[in-house]
Structure 1
Amino acid sequence: MLSLYYYPGNASLLPHMMLREIGAEFELRLVDRGQNAQKSAEYLKLNPSGRIPVLIDGDLVLFETAAIALHLADKFPEAGLAPAVGTAERATFYKWMFHLSNTPQAEYRAWFYPHEHVVDEAATLTVKQAAGERLNRMFDVISGQLGDKTWFLGERFSAADLFLFMLIRWGRGMPRPPRSLPNLNALAERVLARPAVQKALEVEGIKAPVF
């Protein structure tokens, strides 16, 4: 059975939503950040970076959110969370999965944990403000690329839409939250309406307003 190490609302939300969409048997294993469990010796054996999530699939121990998402899309192709391998649509899917992972997801680190990016604590506020401005520009680019499409890949729903939904949610406390961009808000609403997503949020105890 698959096991997902998670904490509510963390990056583990993406594979959790995917597993619900897939309908696979899996178990959730809480990593209690309140007790700093992600830095425990036991957890560091699974992910030496001490970050969440980790997916266990038999003998495979996998960390990095995007890698877990791609593995699940490949392992369960019948779920249709990614286009067929070798197609132009699959290449576009890869583009967005890597963009979301390497650009806004990575930038959120400076927004949420600005103290990790300074030597002088007095600079913390400036680091956070600059990260917020960069995130605004990133979401402007994503919004422009999405345009009036229903989903990232046009009329086809994919894991990239779940990924973007999670990142939109993370920005709910920003001065200009991503949902303020009309097409991003509309996409997030469509994702939120999916039963699998609602179930994942319910299980994690995430209540309105979600984003």
Structure 2
Amino acid sequence: MYRLYGNSGMANLAPHMALETIGAPYEMVRVDTASKEHQGATYLRLNPTGRVPVLVDGEQPIFETAAILLHLADRHPDAGLMPPVGTVERGLAYQWLIHLTNSVQVAYLAYYYPERQVADAALADSVRQAAEVRAGELFDLLDKALAGRDWLTADRPGIVDFMLLMLTRWGRNFAGRPPRLLPNIGTHAARTAALPAVIRAFEQEGLTQPWY
């Protein structure tokens, strides 16, 4: 049985959607980040970076959201969470998953933790504003990629779509333009959030509407 460590609405949300879609037995283990449980010795033995999430498969912990998603897709190919190996669609799935992780998620890191990006705390607000602009540019690109498509890389929802919904949600409180206001991103978010497995994951994490 899998164990997924995380907290409500954090980076564990996309793997949680995947686990619900797969239907394999798992346990959701809450990590109290407010009390810095993720920085304690017990958790650091699972993930030395001190971040959530961690997936424990048997006795092996795996961290990094994208790695967890890929592992689950590979372990359960019948769930169809990734296009077949060796196809162009598979390559595009890798492309967008890495883009979401290396570009969009990095912009969010600067947006939510701007003080980590500067030595002078007085500059933090400027960093946050720039990060929101950058995230908007990245979502513009994703919106174009979704034109005429229901899902980002295949003819059925998969791990890339779960990751995109999670990151769309994270921008719901942008002061300027939340991602959901982009026509294709908004439609994709609504379509993905209506999936029964996704509804279960959101509800189990205690997340209330509006989800994105």
* TM class by smaller structure: over 0.9
Deviates more, 1:144-153 or 1:71-80: 144-153
Equivalent residue number for residue 31 of structure 2: 31
Q: CA deviation at 1:100?
A: 0.7
Secondary structure class of the residue paired with 2:74: helix
Segments of structure 1 that go 5 or more residues without pairing to the other structure are: none
What is the identity percentage for the equivalent residue pairs of Structure 1 and Structure 2?
47
Aligned ranges 1:162-177 → 2 under 5 Å: 162-175=162-175, 176-177=177-178
**Are 2:69 and 1:43 aligned?**
no
* Amino acid across the alignment from 1:96: W
Aligned ranges 1:58-77 → 2 under 5 Å: 58-77=58-77
Residues 141 and 34 (structure 1), Cα distance of their counterparts in 2 relative to 1, 3 Å cut: same
- TM-score, normalised via structure 1 length: 0.98
Aligned-residue Cα RMSD (Å) equals 0.9
Equivalent residue number for residue 145 of structure 1: 145
The superposition leaves residues 132-179 of structure 1 with CA deviations (integer Å, 9 ceiling, x where unpaired) of 110010001111121121111253321111110000000001021000
Q: Aligned residues, how many?
A: 211
Aligned ranges 1:1-211 → 2 under 5 Å: 1-175=1-175, 176-211=177-212
Q: CA deviation at 1:88?
A: 1.3
Residues 27 and 196 (structure 1), Cα distance of their counterparts in 2 relative to 1, 3 Å cut: same
Secondary structure class of the residue paired with 2:46: coil
Secondary structure class of the residue paired with 2:171: helix
Secondary structure class of the residue paired with 2:61: strand
Determine if contact 2:89/2:154 at 8 Å carries over to the other structure: no
Q: CA deviation at 1:130?
A: 0.6
* Mapped partners of 2:62, 2:40: distance in 1: 17
Secondary structure class of the residue paired with 1:45: helix
* Mapped partners of 2:193, 2:40: distance in 1: 33
* Amino acid across the alignment from 2:55: L
* Mapped partners of 1:150, 1:82: distance in 2: 15
* Mapped partners of 2:198, 2:157: distance in 1: 13
* Mapped partners of 2:53, 2:39: distance in 1: 13
Q: CA deviation at 1:119?
A: 1.0
* Mapped partners of 2:192, 2:23: distance in 1: 17
- TM-score, normalised via structure 2 length: 0.97
Secondary structure class of the residue paired with 1:4: strand
Segments of structure 2 that go 5 or more residues without pairing to the other structure are: none
